[in-house]
Amino acid sequence: MKVGILTLGCKVNAYESEFVISKLKDAGYEIKDFNDVCDIYIINTCTVTNTSDIKSRKMIRQAIRKNKDACVIAMGCFIEANHDFKMDGLDIVIGNKDKSKIVEIIEEYFQKKKEIRKLYEEEYCKFEDMDINEFSGRTRAFVKIQDGCENFCSYCIIPYVRGKCRSKEKDKVLKEITSLVQSGYQEIVLTGIHTGNYGVDLDINFASLLREICKVPNLKRLRISSIEITELTDEVLDVLQKNPVIVDHLHIPLQAGSDEVLKIMKRKYNLSYFEDKLIKIRKIRPHISITTDVIVGHPGENDVLFHETEKICRKFAFSKIHVFPYSVRKGTPSSSMKQVDGLEKKKRAQALLQLSHQLEEEYFEKFVGQEVDVLIEVCEDGKSFGHTSNYLPVKIEKEIPHNTFYKAEITGISYPYCIGK
């Protein structure tokens, strides 16, 4: 049978979809493009914003229309947030638990030809073990080490749909990474819903795990998908200082450049704390790229506080800002607060995106004339594209084999790329 799978949302979803693909391949299913006519469609949904919800529903509807005789499966965070969701033509509904049982669930459906709904209270779910030895068409492989979040920021739905923090056992993490490295992956990306909180339920912490991973033979690069500033402890920074296999890039969500808004958001730090950590990080890694997330238009943010955020983002010299207009999530504390006008949110988002572009180019310029190692990810039409350790996107006017390191000199900037020769 032919299966088309579509993944929406974060790197954790991407990892889980890849695991689902591997299970289906092992069971003899043929993986096709989601746009093809297939016997089975799987949509791994997202609910982090209203836009995510709209797209999740749209893609489920689209799959149903592609082939009225197909088995259509919706799973993931949108389903967890909407346990009662139904749609004519939707045959299987799975939350964030039992994705690993996808083959058994599909076989059960074709035996009984009856709708299947696998939904649980995520709060009581254990870590669902998955491991991958292939990540389709990529030079870097994600490894999910953790699930769940208990921060309960006032704007965020994720703790409600992903449940409590739970971690993959250290030996299983190391075994999976070793296998991926032996399979030829040059870069490993650690991912989770609250990655830096790894081990809170085990007799180990994130720093200890990092130390062990850095010892994996032939591992070239280790990247952390995202980490909270409060989790960059002195112990983690010590590992960062002593292990060059960890890349020169950290993604640290700021969310707001105003202490007043941070308090409303129920974030667990203030700007002074954040800045002190940045100073420590840059002292041990002077050329590091630090990227961030910022939410604009959160309840309580006015023009004055937004301009504070702009000033702070420039002061902190982020190399890129991922900008998110605040999105109401039903059931979260922020949803019942007085909302910022939608047009004003768009205006603020556009202003911050322009600042991000400027900061990104300024960061790129620092490396003109320098020699860098580029991991080649795409090669087409006589050109090669890849990233450096500090996540500079580099374009080289030459065909270079995929998944190899190439030494290049940055000769100029042609946004969104650095030019390498």
Per-residue pLDDT of 56-79, as tens digits, reads 999 999 999 999 999 999 999 999
Res. 13 pLDDT band, cuts 50 70 90: very high
- Find the range with the poorest average confidence among 86-100, 112-126, 237-251, 345-359: 112-126
The pLDDT of 376-395, averaged and rounded, is: 96
Closest CA to 39 of 51, 58, 24, 57: 24
Nearest to 143 by CA among 11, 38, 246: 11
Question: Mean pLDDT throughout 382-409?
Answer: 97
Whether 143 has a pLDDT exceeding 70, the answer reads yes
* pLDDT for residue 318 is more than 80: yes
Rounded to whole angstroms, the Cα distance separating 320 from 317 reads 9
Q: List, in sequence order, every residue forming a beta bridge with 370; answer none if it has no partner.
A: none
8 A C-beta contact, residue 373 and residue 405 = yes
Mean pLDDT of 12-26: 96
Specify the pLDDT at position 134: 79
Contact 92, 111 (CB under 8 A): no
Q: Which of 29, 38, 28, 27 is nearest to 4 (CA)?
A: 38
Cβ neighbour number for residue 68 with a 10 Å cutoff: 8
Condensed to tens digits (0 to 9), the pLDDT of residues 340-374 reads 999 999 999 999 999 999 999 999 999 999 999 99
pLDDT (average), residues 305-329: 98
Q: With cut-offs at 50, 70 and 90, classify the pLDDT of residue 254.
A: very high
Segment 91-119 shows an average pLDDT of 96
Average pLDDT over residues 314-335: 97
pLDDT-wise least confident of 115-129, 143-157, 199-213, 362-376 = 115-129
Q: Which two tokens stand for residue 23?
A: 């299970």
Per-residue pLDDT at 124: 62
pTM: predicted TM-score of the whole model, two decimal places: 0.95
